Amino acid sequence: MKQSQLFTKTKKEAPSDEVAKNAQLLIRAGFIHKEMAGVYAYMPLGLRVLENIKKIVREEMNGVGGQELMMTTLQPKEIWEKTDRWDDAKVDNWFKTKLVNGTELGVGLTHEEPIVDAVSNYLGSYKDMPFAVYQIQNKFRNEKRAKSGLLRGREFLMKDMYTFSRDQKQHNEEYEKIVKAYFRVYDRLGLGEITYRTYADGGIFTPRFSDEFQTLSDVGEDKIYVDEKKRVAINDEIFTDENLEKLGLKREDLVEKKGVEVGNTFHLESKYTDALELFYSDEKGEKQSIIMGCYGIGVSRLMGVIAELFADDKGLVWPENIAPFSVHLLNLGEDGEAEKIYAQLLKNGIEVLFDDREAQAGQKFADSDLIGIPYRAVISKKSLAAGGIEVKKRNESESKIMTVEEFLQLLKK
Amino acid sequence: MKQSQLFTKTKKEAPSDEVAKNAQLLIRAGFIHKEMAGVYAYMPLGLRVLENIKKIVREEMNGVGGQELMMTTLQPKEIWEKTDRWDDAKVDNWFKTKLVNGTELGVGLTHEEPIVDAVSNYLGSYKDMPFAVYQIQNKFRNEKRAKSGLLRGREFLMKDMYTFSRDQKQHNEEYEKIVKAYFRVYDRLGLGEITYRTYADGGIFTPRFSDEFQTLSDVGEDKIYVDEKKRVAINDEIFTDENLEKLGLKREDLVEKKGVEVGNTFHLESKYTDALELFYSDEKGEKQSIIMGCYGIGVSRLMGVIAELFADDKGLVWPENIAPFSVHLLNLGEDGEAEKIYAQLLKNGIEVLFDDREAQAGQKFADSDLIGIPYRAVISKKSLAAGGIEVKKRNESESKIMTVEEFLQLLKK
């Protein structure tokens, strides 16, 4: 797309009340707009990144047999009363609203109850299981403080998956399959090596630990202890000798780190299915409890984590597979040749942001660094004289002159 | 996908409180789940249809230069007070909620104010215009009655576009370009011939009429008068001699019809931009008002309209370009051959729902009619003996035996 037509523009300053680096950079580069603390709108560049992350998450969830659906934001209180999660004294971060007739409604903060309620229309027999459903949808949580940009939102995009299994064996198979898919997601996002499966509290209704997926970061809110050899970690909140022994971890192998939770997976046992009276019939026709798992990935949080972690002092640095465009093509006064090369890249299916604006070279370079598209390709009198376009990767310092054909070869790798 | 793995199942009956035909059929066929009146969750089959409609709408909005973004559901009251649309006495269908500290928030029912607020970060000069932004996003409206299934929701999916222009001439060009794109959307959805551009009240801040896009239907809530030759209509609410004269319409050319509003376009003049103090500088550096237009398409409503209009007494009948799958492949006891043909169709990029369930032929035929996939392809001893698969279009009564190659040819047309 032509940058002269993109309605957003870069800014020198972020709003003075914005303290998180990820949000500061994303606002300055025109990716997001702050509606209020913890609530951000996605401008075209930001939406493109978000959609690219969604695509990766969706492909991996489909890959383990997940069936995508879309639950509702408005929630009837009855189903939440059955699990004792309606009362604000029990769950303190609800947003609630009312119908004109006064009926109280919830604004979806998670979806275990409505998922079980929907599934109960269809699930009856042991033959129906196992299966996994998921959605990628906004969640609403009434957080007291929301100062970390996209890392902790009041309205944020989440992938939540739920599995239904006939017994623990079937549940464990589903659970481990999904944990593997989680690491494929983090690998594809460039976070695999710094993200740890981290044992955490499982909740009061299971004897098991839950798993958090913690990406190492200085801005992380969680304290974790990492065993780098075993590639696992344990959350500070369950860091006791008893638990270390259960998990086969040794104090001397562990290093304290800060992490951002970019996913979590829980064993729900039959807490929700029992409470909402969803059972199945086994081979003998006998009524049995259903074992559930639930599996979250913070999609917009991941965008914030990646913005924050990969940025340098000049701006954002996007990994290639989630960048808003692959190439930032800068025309420095060679309109005819630049238009031709732009058309040629588009024809080859390359996603290009074409800086065709009437602006100083310095402004174009600074904007390009701030926006953080993986390849910068400059067309100038100098580059043409040297034989083509001057190509530089955002995360490298050396540029190189190449022909369009050579550049296309490089992009196709 | 294999139907044995699809977690939804068809049902003989819809919920007894569901009176709308579109919702009854969509619930029975497993496309949607009713959360409460006017609030529906989308199960996998339904989500596929919705995504297909979104794709068409998105392509046409991108085609007229629309830039996609995503605004927020949670809304700060300050921006709505500036346009006097916060007070429940003025706007009676808000859902409202509160932060923990008591601050009132709105739950997004439309987005003129937040869009103007976001755009004001970037728009300054006459050179920045015209441009169009849009989103495809859930809206929340506190309707007193919601009994029409997907035709009138409390939570529903809408495409809303907003244009910013420097003057009326530029605005009119944008407006008419978008109206043309609307008809491309309705044409692609199979509704073009029964959808009329319908003059309606423009609101108190413009002397102009707005346009509604009304699809003729007996379940429509709107009374309109259609001029079939001119392919336009006029809404009952502005049906006066004075307006007929303004519009060059004659009483004797008009036929009374019922319509469902599947889109609307408004001239907003400078009401919202002035109120939110967004202006631009012209060539002389002088401050000028910005002319806005807004343009809605009810995406989930369109799904309901299509379900309702095209259904027959056996079930749903989806147009080919929005159907959840292209082919419903029914295996009647020929497992080996059926699996082979299923694999062959998938290899050719065909979207197939493969009924591999252990079920009676009668059940499979009835489910196939209810779900409404465009092509039904049956593999049975009889069909194989006759030379292949028995293919029937959902909206035709005659079936035909053909080889897989012939079927692939037919699908590629």
What is the domain-level CATH number for residue A397? 3.40.50.800
Using CA atoms, how far apart are residues A121 and A124, in angstroms rounded to an integer? 9
Q: Which helix (H) or strand (E) holds B269?
A: strand B254-269
Q: Are residues A104 and A212 in the same domain?
A: yes
Long-range contacts of B168-173 (CB under 8 A, 24+ apart): B168/B291, B170/B129, B170/B130, B170/B291, B171/B130, B171/B267, B171/B291, B171/B292, B171/B293, B173/B130
Q: Which helix (H) or strand (E) holds A298?
A: strand A291-298
- pLDDT tens by residue, A29-69: 999 999 999 999 999 999 999 999 999 999 999 999 999 99
Judge whether residue B153 has pLDDT over 90: yes
CATH code of the domain containing B295: 3.30.930.10
Judge whether residue B329 has pLDDT over 90: yes
Residue in chain A nearest B111 by alpha carbon? A41
For B262, the 3-state DSSP assignment is strand
Using CA atoms, how far apart are residues A273 and A182, in angstroms rounded to an integer? 25
Residue in chain B nearest A155 by alpha carbon? B74
The pLDDT assigned to B197 comes to 98
The pLDDT assigned to B216 comes to 97
- Which residue in A371, A289, A269, A300 sits closest to A330, CA to CA? A371
Q: Does residue A155 belong to any structural domain of this protein?
A: yes
* Chosen domain end from B310, B340, B364: B310
Inter-chain CB proximity A155 and B72 less than 8 Å: yes
Inter-chain CB proximity A74 and B41 less than 8 Å: no
Structure tokens at A55: 């695509």
Average pLDDT of every residue of chain B? 97
pTM of the predicted structure, to 2 decimals: 0.97
Q: Sign of torsion, CA B60 B62 B67 B68?
A: positive
Using CA atoms, how far apart are residues B126 and A216, in angstroms rounded to an integer? 46
Alpha helices in B192-294 (DSSP H): 241-247, 271-275
The pLDDT assigned to A292 comes to 98
pLDDT band at A14 (very low <50, low <70, confident <90, very high): confident
Inter-chain CB proximity A41 and B70 less than 8 Å: yes
The residue ranges of DSSP E strands in B166-248, in sequence order, are: 195-200, 210-216, 222-227, 232-235
Main-chain phi, psi angles of B174, to 5 degrees? -60, -45
Q: Are residues A334 and A210 in the same domain?
A: no
Using CA atoms, how far apart are residues B117 and B278, in angstroms rounded to an integer? 8
* Chosen domain end from A252, A281, A310: A310
Inter-chain CB proximity B5 and A133 less than 8 Å: no
**Distance from B313 to chain A by nearest Cα, in Å?**
23
Residue in chain B nearest A128 by alpha carbon? B7
Point out which residues pair with A36 in neighbouring strands.
A39
The pLDDT assigned to B244 comes to 97
Inter-chain CB proximity A114 and B39 less than 8 Å: no
Phi/psi region, residue B203 (left: phi>0; alpha: psi -120 to 50; beta: rest), is left
Q: Does residue B363 belong to any structural domain of this protein?
A: yes
**Whole-number CA gyration radius for chain B:** 24
The pLDDT assigned to A357 comes to 96
Judge whether residue B145 has pLDDT over 90: no
Question: Chain centroid to CA B135: how far?
Answer: 13
Residue in chain A nearest B79 by alpha carbon? A35
Q: Does B327 touch chain A (CB under 8 A)?
A: no
- Which residue in B67, B272, B170, B76 sits closest to A9, CA to CA? B67
8 A C-beta contact, residue A355 and residue A368: yes
Q: Does residue A319 belong to any structural domain of this protein?
A: no
Phi/psi region, residue B102 (left: phi>0; alpha: psi -120 to 50; beta: rest), is left
Q: Are residues A30 and A171 in the same domain?
A: yes
For chain B, helix (H) and strand (E) counts, in that order, are 12, 21
- pLDDT tens by residue, A29-38: 999 999 999 9
Judge whether residue B14 has pLDDT over 90: no
- Residue located via tokens 């998956």: A161
Instruction: State how far the alpha carbon of A142 is from the alpha carbons of A218, B138, B319, in Å.
Output: 25, 19, 42
pLDDT band at A204 (very low <50, low <70, confident <90, very high): confident
Q: Which residues of A touch B123 (CB under 8 A)?
A: 7
Interface test with A, best of B12, B31, B67, B278 (most A CBs within 10 A): B67
Judge whether residue B204 has pLDDT over 90: no
Percent of chain A with pLDDT over 70: 100
Tallying the residues shown for chain B, one arrives at: 413
Q: Are residues A68 and A174 in the same domain?
A: yes
Using CA atoms, how far apart are residues A172 and A166, in angstroms rounded to an integer? 11
The pLDDT assigned to A413 comes to 80
The pLDDT assigned to B76 comes to 98
Do the interacting molecules here have an ipTM over 0.85?
yes
- Can you tell me the mean pLDDT for A293-313? 97
Indicate the DSSP class of residue B125. Answer: B
For residue A72, give the nearest of B6, B35, B69 by CB distance.
B35
Q: Are residues B263 and B405 in the same domain?
A: no
Residues 80-119 of A with CB under 8 A from B: 92-93, 95-101, 105, 107, 114, 118-119
Residues 371-410 of B with CB under 8 A from A: none
Q: Does residue A174 belong to any structural domain of this protein?
A: yes
Judge whether residue B232 has pLDDT over 90: yes
- pLDDT tens by residue, B18-30: 999 999 999 999 9
Q: Are residues A46 and A86 in the same domain?
A: yes
Using CA atoms, how far apart are residues B243 and B266, in angstroms rounded to an integer? 17
Q: Are residues B74 and B188 in the same domain?
A: yes
- Can you tell me the mean pLDDT for A262-276? 97
- Which residue in B130, B157, B133, B152 sits closest to B55, CA to CA? B157
**Distance from A26 to chain B by nearest Cα, in Å?**
13
Q: Does residue A315 belong to any structural domain of this protein?
A: no
Indicate the DSSP class of residue A43. Answer: P
Interface test with B, best of A17, A27, A35, A119 (most B CBs within 10 A): A35
Judge whether residue B342 has pLDDT over 90: yes
Residues 28-47 of B with CB under 8 A from A: 30, 33, 35-36, 39-44, 46-47
Q: Tally the C-alpha atoms within 13 A of residue A163's C-alpha that lie toward its C-beta.
A: 30
Inter-chain CB proximity A97 and B107 less than 8 Å: yes
Judge whether residue B383 has pLDDT over 90: yes
pLDDT band at B180 (very low <50, low <70, confident <90, very high): very high
Q: Which of A291-300, B13-22, B169-178 is predicted least confidently?
A: B13-22
Q: Are residues A62 and A129 in the same domain?
A: yes
Q: Does residue B387 belong to any structural domain of this protein?
A: yes
Average pLDDT of every residue of chain A? 97
Using CA atoms, how far apart are residues A117 and A275, in angstroms rounded to an integer? 11
Q: Does residue A94 belong to any structural domain of this protein?
A: yes
Q: Are residues B241 and B377 in the same domain?
A: no
The tally of domains found in chain B comes to: 2
Structure tokens at B227: 């001029």
Residues 6+ apart with CB under 8 A from B164: B119, B123, B128, B129, B130, B131, B132, B273, B290, B291, B292
Judge whether residue B319 has pLDDT over 90: yes
**Distance from A402 to chain B by nearest Cα, in Å?**
32
- pLDDT tens by residue, A367-411: 999 999 999 999 999 999 999 999 999 999 999 999 999 999 999
Q: Are residues A71 and A110 in the same domain?
A: yes
The gap between the terminal CA atoms of chain A, to the nearest Å, is 23
Q: Are residues B357 and B216 in the same domain?
A: no
Cβ burial, residue A122 (10 Å; 0-12/13-18/19+) = middle
Q: Does residue A5 belong to any structural domain of this protein?
A: no
The residue ranges of DSSP E strands in A47-187, in sequence order, are: 67-68, 74-76, 95-98, 104-107, 131-140, 155-165
Cβ burial, residue B118 (10 Å; 0-12/13-18/19+) = buried
Q: Does B126 touch chain A (CB under 8 A)?
A: no
Inter-chain CB proximity B118 and A30 less than 8 Å: no
- Which residue in A296, A37, A255 sits closest to A161, CA to CA? A296
Provide the domain limits for residue A333. 327-412
**Distance from A20 to chain B by nearest Cα, in Å?**
19
Q: Are residues B133 and B105 in the same domain?
A: yes
